[in-house]
Amino acid sequence: MSKLLRRNLAYVPLIIWAIVILFPLYWMVITSFKLPIDINRGVSYIPWVDFVPSLHAWQDLLQGAVPIADPLRNSFLAATISSIAAVGLGGMAGYGLSRFQYRWGPWRNKDIAFWFISQRMLPPAAAILAFMIMFKYLHLLDSVAGLAIAYTGFNLPFAIWIMRDFFLALPRELEESSLVEGASWLTTFWRIVLPLSVPGLAATGILLFIFSWNEYLFASLLAFEKAKTMPVTIAGMATAIGIRWWLMSALAIVSMVPTVLLGLLLERYIVRGLTAGAIK
């Protein structure tokens, strides 16, 4: 097979998967423009041909019939704070685990790392009650601060594992030469390591942001009113008397916007950032 043909053959599966992804998204978009009776009547695909599009769902959102400003703000604050904190603390811990030998009793670095990731193994439903009690006494219930703290805790294991991988692949020569020249560890970290790791930190940050932004269980039980987040608002569209598909789709689309924007912004970092090759 000629090279030209082979090169272009690669497009086929890519385009197929792109359609697989885009069709449901397209469906979500047109659903947000459908009237309830359109949904009841059956399947319709093309606006103006199969059904008459209506702005009623979007109007409801913009006019405040469905509260959206508060959940957006709450989600945004909780996700941003927790991902920055997790990246910061996690990055440091990941760096430590990649450079130093720790000893916690019988545990070495790999055991410590395992302990961190084991935090992700217990089904959250079991721990949620304990969290409620803890937060009740700390007066953190139904608060963005409480959510942010909880999410930071959840995200740390990921941050630590990914950043540790990243730092391990980072050659030590730069730091060593800096230390040889008399700089302290902290200065070295601040001046040399950190700038080089911004891509990795950014990439981890956006993954964690997405995880926090879309988290459901803790948001639903720890933040039930004032600190309500977007996922809970979206789920609220599934009512006992019927799922309001049009509103749910519109809300889901709005909910995607911040993450997509963030993704666009940091996209080049995501790809480059998780590798050591960037350093060379």
Partner 1 sequence: MKIRKLRHVPAAILLIVSLLLTAPGSGAFVGAQDDSASRFEGVQVTVAGPAGQVECIETWANQWEEETGGQVNINPIPFSDIDSKVLAATGTDTFLADVYYIGSQTAGQLMAGDHVIEVPEELRDRLGLDQIPDIYNKYQLSWNDKLYGIPWDGDMLMLNYRQDLLSDPVYQEEFKAQYGYDLAPPESWQQYADIAAFFTGKDWDNDGAPNYGLAELPMRRNHAWNGFLARAAGYAKHPDDPAFFFDPETMTPRINNPGFVKALEDWKTALQWGPPDMLSFDWAGNAQAFVGGRAALNIQWADIGPMSIDPETSVVAGKVGFGVTPGSTEVWNTASGEWETFDEPNKAPFAGFGGWIYVVPKLSEQPEAAMDLATFLGSPGVRVEAVTTPGCGVNPNSTELLDPSIWVDAGFSEEAAQEYTKAIQDSLANPNVVFDLRIPGIPDYKDALEIGVTKALVGEATAQEALDEVAAEWEAITDRLGRDQQVQYYRESLGIAAE
Partner 2 sequence: MTFVPRRQSDVAPRSAVSNGQRAGTAIKGAPAGFFLNPAAILVLMLSLFPFLFSLGMTFTNWNLLYPGVDFRALENWRRLFDDETLGRAVRNTVFFTTAATILEYVLGLMLAILVLQIKRGQRFFRLIFLLPMMISPAAVGYVIGRMLFSETQGPINNILFRLGLPYVPWTSNPGVAPWTIVVADVWQWTSFMFVLLLAGLQSLPGEPFEAARVDGASNWQIFTQITFPLLVPVTVTAVLIRSLELFKLIDLVRVITAGGPGTATQTVTLYVYDLALTRGDMGYGATVAYALLIIVILYATFYLWLTRRAVEKVA
Whole-angstrom distance, CA of residue 165 vs CA of residue 274:
9
223 binds partner 2, rule: CB under 8 A? no
CB of 1 to partner 1, least distance (A): 44
Pick the binder of partner 2 from 57, 68, 147, 157 (CB under 8 A): 157
70 binds, among partner 1, partner 2, none (CB under 5 to 8 A by kind): partner 1
Helix 69-99, helix 245-273: angle, nearest 10:
30
Looking at residues 244 to 263 of the shown chain, list those that interact with partner 1 (rule: CB under 8 A).
244
Q: Return the number of the residue (155 or 233) whose C-beta is nearest partner 1.
A: 233
Q: How far is the CB of 167 from partner 1 (least distance, A)?
A: 19
137 to 52, 128, 132: CA distances (angstroms): 53, 14, 9
Shortest reach from residue 241's CB to partner 1, in Å: 4
Site for partner 2 in 33-52 (CB under 8 A): 39, 42-43, 45
When CB distances are held under 5 to 8 angstroms depending on the partner's kind, the choice from partner 1, partner 2, none that residue 218 binds is none
Query: Considering CB distances under 5 to 8 angstroms, the limit depending on partner class, which of partner 1, partner 2, none binds residue 225?
Result: partner 1
Nearest-5° angle of CA 121, CA 127, CA 130?
155
Report the C-alpha gap between 198 and 194 in whole angstroms: 6
Which listed range, 18-26, 34-42, 104-112, 206-214, lies at the site for partner 1 (CB under 8 A)? 34-42
Q: Under DSSP, is residue 107 helix (H, G, I), strand (E, B) or coil?
A: strand
80 is a site residue for partner 2 (CB under 8 A): no
Q: Which residue, 178, 134, 128, is CA-closest to 154?
A: 128
- C-alpha to C-alpha distances, 228 to 73, 78, 79, 206, nearest whole angstrom: 9, 10, 13, 21
Nearest-angstrom CA–CA distance, 148 and 210: 13
Please report how close the Cβ of residue 62 comes to partner 2 at its closest, in angstroms. 19
CA-wise closest residue to 220 among 147, 156, 116: 147
Interface ranges with partner 1 (CB under 8 A): 35-37, 39-42, 69-70, 73, 76-77, 128-129, 132-133, 136, 141, 195, 198, 220-221, 224-226, 232, 235-244
